[in-house]
């Protein structure tokens, strides 16, 4: 294989704006590979079903115009543009057969060395890739609940599991995810650390005496109940909520009731949000695969209070604080939030924000651990991993 590869990523979340951790990681991986002279392309939807991002073709056009991005239409339901040297096909395709056809045609046209399939929530992309390029398809998985097997799967599928066995490689973002896949499918997966954090040096934003207690994407899955309870218990503290894909109207209304809660706009670049942050709350109730936002905050010296679930203990890098939550329950294939005991969270937050020496110690430990972690992440290592995969 030539040192400069062609890589096509298939994902079922929009490419821009990339407000979720996984989609942001995908985008930054492709941008980093493109910077090293690999030719990169992506296929993803143009329109989102979440609460943030374009919900129609008109809103998609406004999003692109606002970014100064020129868009062409090679076909009626495909919008093509280039962003930071990555070629993007943003599609408005609902029919699975139509998506199969487009993926096949794009693979033939682009000639990728590797087709990387992301979580494939709608169970279309992996099959399309394996039909068009069976010897060149690998999986890049970031959301553990979208796996088609095991007790955490929201949609089990024997067919999808069999397709996974046909992929030439499976790459995952946490040891938690790798162990889960091995336990419940017998498949081997390779751990990769994606270059989602950007280039240093990283500004020191953590300050004992200023900033918000911030939560990104307040919703039931992410533990909005804990955030709201803390805001009520500490009326003199200023909190900030950053609504993204999971925040529904009911949560918006609850946030609006609290005078000490400020709403910050979501953005591709998280640094302006962290610049205003004193403590980051990550009280997820469902099994986060890793939690990119945790090291992102820690890099900037911001203490993080995170739930002791899923891959979040890995993301905390051995630094305090991991706190207990009552995990969501599975009912009829859905995750349902249960009442939470906020007492440990309130005690820890109160102690942290009443003791400047404790705050500074956690801030420094967080920054040092995160800098060590990020220093070991290399785009070149991911390219070498792909080059070394046996495609026979």
Tokens of 78: 């495909």
Q: At what angle do helices 21-35 and 379-388 cross, to 10 degrees?
A: 80
The answer to whether the beta carbons of residues 26 and 118 sit under 8 Å apart is yes
Q: How confident is the model at residue 333 (pLDDT cuts 50, 70, 90)?
A: low
What is the pLDDT, as a whole number, of residue 74? 93
**Per-residue pLDDT averaged across 273-277, rounded?**
97
What is the pLDDT, as a whole number, of residue 309? 95
Residue 328 pLDDT > 90: no
Cα separation, 42 vs 78, whole angstroms: 12
**Per-residue pLDDT averaged across 72-87, rounded?**
96
Task: Give the tens place of pLDDT for each residue, 135-154.
Answer: 999 999 999 999 999 999 98
Percent of the chain with pLDDT over 70: 98
**Per-residue pLDDT averaged across 238-260, rounded?**
93
Q: How confident is the model at residue 51 (pLDDT cuts 50, 70, 90)?
A: low
Cα separation, 296 vs 294, whole angstroms: 5
What is the pLDDT, as a whole number, of residue 158? 96
Residue 73 pLDDT > 60: yes
> What are the start-end ranges of the E strands in the chain?
6-10, 39-45, 72-75, 78-83, 86-91, 114-117, 137-141, 170-172, 190-191, 212-216, 239-242, 261-263, 277-282, 304-307, 322-323, 329-331, 334-336
The pTM of the full predicted model, rounded to 2 decimals, is 0.92
Report which secondary-structure segment, H or E, holds 20: none
Q: How confident is the model at residue 367 (pLDDT cuts 50, 70, 90)?
A: very high
Domains of the chain: 6-195+377-388 (3.40.50.2000), 212-375 (3.40.50.2000)
Residue 34 pLDDT > 70: yes
Q: How confident is the model at residue 245 (pLDDT cuts 50, 70, 90)?
A: confident
Residue 256 pLDDT > 70: yes
The answer to whether the beta carbons of residues 370 and 362 sit under 8 Å apart is no
Residue 98 pLDDT > 70: yes
Phi then psi for residue 182, to 5 deg, are: -65, -40
DSSP 32: H
Cα separation, 4 vs 10, whole angstroms: 20
What is the pLDDT, as a whole number, of residue 2? 45
Residue 392 pLDDT > 80: no
What average pLDDT does the chain have? 94
> ∠ at Cα 132 (126, 25), nearest 5°?
45
Q: How confident is the model at residue 326 (pLDDT cuts 50, 70, 90)?
A: very high
């Amino acid at each position: 294989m030539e040192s400069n590869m062609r890589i096509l990523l298939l994902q079922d979340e929009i490419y821009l704006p990339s407000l979720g951790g996984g989609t942001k990681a995908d985008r930054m991986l492709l941008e980093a590979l493109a910077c090293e002279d690999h030719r990169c392309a992506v296929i993803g939807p143009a329109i989102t079903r979440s609460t943030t991002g374009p919900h129609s073709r008109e809103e998609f056009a406004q999003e692109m115009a606002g970014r100064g991005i020129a868009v062409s239409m090679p076909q009626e339901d495909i919008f093509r543009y280039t962003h930071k040297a990555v070629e993007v096909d943003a599609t408005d395709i609902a029919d699975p057969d139509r998506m199969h056809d487009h993926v096949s045609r794009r693979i033939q046209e682009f000639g990728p060395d590797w087709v990387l399939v992301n979580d494939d929530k709608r169970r279309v992309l992996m099959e399309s890739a394996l039909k068009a390029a069976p010897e060149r398809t690998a999986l890049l998985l970031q959301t553990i609940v979208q796996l088609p097997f095991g007790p955490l799967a929201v949609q089990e599928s024997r067919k999808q599991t069999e397709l996974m066995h046909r992929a030439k490689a499976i790459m995952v973002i946490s040891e938690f995810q790798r162990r889960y896949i091995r336990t419940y499918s017998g498949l081997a997966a390779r751990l990769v650390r994606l270059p989602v954090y950007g280039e240093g040096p990283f500004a020191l934003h953590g300050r004992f005496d200023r900033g918000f207690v911030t939560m990104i994407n307040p919703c039931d899955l992410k533990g909005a109940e804990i955030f709201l309870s803390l805001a009520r218990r500490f009326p003199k503290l200023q909190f900030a909520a950053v609504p993204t894909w999971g925040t529904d109207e009911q949560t918006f209304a609850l946030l609006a009731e609290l005078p000490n809660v400020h709403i910050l706009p979501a953005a591709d670049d998280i640094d302006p949000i962290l610049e205003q942050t004193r403590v980051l709350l990550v009280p997820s109730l469902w099994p986060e695969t890793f939690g990119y936002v945790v090291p992102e905050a820690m890099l900037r010296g911001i203490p993080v209070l995170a739930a002791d679930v899923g891959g979040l203990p890995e993301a905390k890098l051995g630094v305090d604080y991991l706190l207990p939550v009552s995990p969501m329950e599975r009912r009829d294939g859905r995750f349902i939030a249960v009442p939470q005991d906020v007492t440990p969270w309130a005690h820890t937050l109160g102690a942290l924000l009443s003791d400047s020496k404790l705050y500074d110690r956690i801030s420094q430990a967080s920054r040092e651990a995160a800098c060590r972690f990020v220093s070991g992440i290399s785009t070149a290592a991911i390219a070498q991993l792909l080059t070394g995969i046996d495609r026979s």
